[in-house]
Amino acid sequence: MWRTVLGIVAGLVAWVLIGTVGLWLMHVTWPAYALVESSMTFTLPMQLGRLGVGVLSSIGGGCTAVLLARGASPAAWWLGTLLVLIFIPIHYGLWDKFPVWYHLFFLLTLAPFNALGGRIAPRTRPGLEP
């Protein structure tokens, strides 16, 4: 059980780090994105880019969770559920900044993409077999 908890925490950290780096890369490589970032008046390609960063973060977070949980795939689903619970109030506060489809895609795919990351993670790591 503690390995699963550790996996979920590590997956959350990985999710945040991947997301932060991904959005930072968009900021530094896309001048138009950087101009509208503070006002959150993103164009469709910018919204799709942000969602892409979210997908990559979820896959990476789920993979990390399962790796540290030593193959316990429920860790990825728990991580996805935790992220949904964290992001529901955040997206409620941002409701008028994005179209409905954006919120729905982001929230409804958090758990499945974390689970996908968990499925593609190796079930054991060399030197850490039980």
pLDDT digits (tens, 9 = 90+) for 1-17: 888 999 999 999 999 99
Amino acid at 103: H
On average, the pLDDT of the chain sits at: 93
Q: Which two tokens stand for residue 85?
A: 């619970």
Number of other CB atoms surrounding residue 7 within 10 Å: 29
For the chain, what are the domain ranges? 2-120
pLDDT at residue 126 in the model? 56
Summarize pLDDT for 34-71 with one digit per residue, the tens: 999 999 999 999 999 999 999 999 999 999 999 998 87
Phi-psi region of 56 (alpha: psi -120 to 50; beta: other; left: phi over 0): alpha
State the pLDDT confidence band at 85, using cuts at 50, 70 and 90. very high
